[in-house]
Amino acid sequence: MTLIQLGLPDHTTLTCAAVLFDMDGVLVDSAAVIEQNLRGWAGEHGLDADHVIAVCPGRTLAELVAEVAPFLDARAEAQRLLEQDISNTDRLTACPGAEHLIRQLPESVWAVVTSGHYPVAVTRLTHTRLPIPDVLITADDVSTGKPAPEGYLTAASRLGVEPRDCVVIEDAPAGLHAAKAAGMRAIAIAGREGGPFAPYDHRIESLSSIKVLHIDTTPTVPER
């Protein structure tokens, strides 16, 4: 098992066997694209766009539709939103520090866990020139999305590591709850992490704040 030492701005050193990233808001700045898509869709159906945007993080598209518009066909509307998410890439950018951090990590020790669907994840990572990980867990891989821990537990299993040896980097309450429910340590990206009772162990401004101090491929028992 490979061990990674991460240095945080508060001088904390975290030792872990895997780093699990949320995608939107952590690796990819997709806020403008998501807002444009959801405002357009909400307007078509006479919905409160601000409310739709507020409840979106952590939910699959079908879950979002069912939550804000239970009178609509969730599957059909989710498909429409999916097609918009795939085609609308003009304002996508990599988040600060994302490429530098993940390119320092061996492919075997990091994963992406997103509430988005696989085609959207691949499109956004490719468009922002970020590598597609060997382990990419999307809405298509789980039966229950965030804040349930299934996605993060699935990622840990596929990487062959214990949940307690994983560090999750998230930006939304649903994802932070999912990480802690999975028994993992959670780093919150400053922004939306301050939702009601959202749990996290550390808080940073961006991925640029994290330094890879050491990678040990012949480790002993990890320090906690």
**pLDDT greater than 80 at residue 182:** yes
Write out pLDDT tens, residues 120-166: 999 999 999 999 999 999 999 999 889 999 999 999 999 999 999 99
**Given this model, what pLDDT does residue 223 score?**
53
User: Which residue's entry shows tokens 């995608």?
Assistant: 23
**Given this model, what pLDDT does residue 57 score?**
77
Can you tell me whether residue 201 is helix, strand or coil?
Answer: coil
Q: Are 149 and 174 in contact (CB under 8 A)?
A: no
Write out pLDDT tens, residues 24-38: 999 999 999 999 999
**pLDDT greater than 50 at residue 10:** yes
Active site (catalytic) residues: 22, 24
**pLDDT greater than 80 at residue 219:** no
CA distance 3 to 105: 11
Token pair recorded at residue 10: 């508060």
Lowest mean pLDDT among 79-93, 161-175, 189-203: 189-203
**Given this model, what pLDDT does residue 193 score?**
47
- 198 pLDDT tier (thresholds 50, 70, 90): confident
CA distance 179 to 199: 9
Is the sign of the CA dihedral 108, 114, 116, 121 positive or negative? Answer: negative
**Domains assigned to the chain:** 2-27+95-217 (3.40.50.1000), 31-87 (1.10.150)
**Given this model, what pLDDT does residue 222 score?**
53
pTM, to two decimals: 0.89
Mean pLDDT of 57-83: 91
**Given this model, what pLDDT does residue 30 score?**
93
Is the sign of the CA dihedral 186, 116, 66, 193 positive or negative? Answer: positive
For a pLDDT cut of 70, what percent of the chain falls above it?
95
**pLDDT greater than 90 at residue 56:** no
